[in-house]
Structure 1
Amino acid sequence: MPRRFLQRHMPKPDTLRRQRSLRLLAPLIADPALWVLSRRSVANAFSVGLFCAMLPIPFQMGAAALGSWLSRCNLALSVGLVWITNPLTMPLIFYGNYRLGSWLIDTPLREPPSRISTRWIAEQMTDIMPALILGSLVTAVCLALVANVMIRLLWRWHVSRHWKLRRLKRRQRRERIESEFDDLNG
């Protein structure tokens, strides 16, 4: 994984600590273990962030911060990944989760009316909620596991590729020096 790229685009702990709105979280933000960019911490941060993003709960960012603190993974990545479910994508994602949950518990889908209102949603919530929760949990667990494995594999591939490139450059440099030495002695 491109560690330099992540470091360049992540917020700095000192900058966050100085913000008034985050003063209550200063002890959490100050923990250096939550800012490490290693294969394990990044993979676990993806798991925590994507898991929390798929849950139909308020304060997903708070849940992701707590999850990153408990699992000792990168705080900024796990909180940032929650924004996959933003106001534009949330209806589609949660509708997909609802459809999956309905399929899993074998209940008929509720067809939306021609005009969706908050009243209709409130009236249907008791019927929709079991399927939505089950579908969201299944999606969250699957997505978290797949993301964790994929990040670990990509990180390993990236590191091994760079080691091979370094080895190749070292070999080429050695061959060039040997050929120059042979030309001088030859």
Structure 2
Amino acid sequence: MPRRFLQRYMPRPDTLSRQRSLRFMAPLIADPALWVLSRRSVANAFSVGLFCAMLPIPFQMVVAALGAKWSRCNLALSVGLVWITNPLTMPLFFFGNYRLGAWLLDTPPREAPSRVSTQWIAEQMTDIMPALLLGSVATALLLAVAANVGIRLIWRWHVSRHWKRRRLKRQQRREHIESEFDD
């Protein structure tokens, strides 16, 4: 991952700490170690953020912030990645998690009625919850591990490509200088 690309879109800690709604997290935001962009901190931030995004719990952003502090990874990335499960995508993700959990538990999934309502969901919650939780944790673990490995590989590939470009440029400059002396 290009560090400059990520820094361009990252919020600044000083602007976040000035926001009234985030004052309760000021000590966490003020920690400079949670704003480092390294291969390890970005990969771990993706793991924390995607793991928390798949959990069917309230206050996922707070959990992601605490996870970032615990794992010493980038705070902004881990909290921002939670928004993969936003109000529009959350039903799709959680339905998929429920189906995976039902498959893992070897239980037939519940069929949704023609009109889903909050009353129907509340009535079915005791039957749905074990499969939803198991599927969510399984998906969260799978995504966290895959993201961590993927980010580390992409970062390594990017650095390797950059080194090769630098080596090629140095070689071209050297050849250019040698050709000037030969003339």
Given the two structures, how large is their TM-score scaled by the length of structure 1? 0.98
Offset at 1:66? Answer: 0.4
Find out whether 1:99 has 2:95 as its counterpart: no
Q: Runs ≥4 in structure 1, deviation > 3 angstroms?
A: none
1:26 aligns with 2:26: yes
Aligned AA (2:35)? W
Partner of 1:167: 167
What is the distance in 2 between the residues matched to 1:23 and 1:99?
Answer: 39
Question: 1:3 is matched with which residue?
Answer: 3
State the shift of 1:175 in Å.
0.3
Counterpart of 1:83? Answer: 83
What is the RMSD computed on CA atoms of the aligned residues?
Answer: 0.5
Q: Which SS does the other structure have where 1:129 is aligned?
A: helix
Alignment of 1:19-58 (within 5 A): 19-58=19-58
Any stretches of 5+ residues in structure 2 without a counterpart?
none
> For this pair of structures, how many residues does the alignment match?
183
Gaps of 5+ in 1: none
Is 1:181 the counterpart of 2:166 in the alignment?
no
1:97-132 deviations in whole A, cap 9, x for unaligned?
A: 000000000111110111111110000000000000
Q: Deviations over 1:67-90 (max 9, x none)?
A: 000000000000000000011110
Moved more, 106-115 or 44-53: 106-115
| Percent sequence identity over aligned pairs | 84
CA distance in 1 between counterparts of 2:106 and 2:171 reads 62
Q: Distance in 1 between matches of 2:24 and 2:104?
A: 41
> What residue is the counterpart of 1:70 in the other structure?
70
Specify the code of the residue in structure 2 equivalent to 1:39: R
**Which residue in 1 is equivalent to 2:139?**
139
AA aligned opposite 1:44: N
SS state at 1:11 partner: coil
- What is the rounded CA distance, in whole Å, between the counterparts of 1:23 and 1:94 in structure 2? 31
Rg bigger for which structure?
1
Report the alpha carbon displacement of residue 23 of structure 1 after superposing the two structures with TM. Answer: 1.1
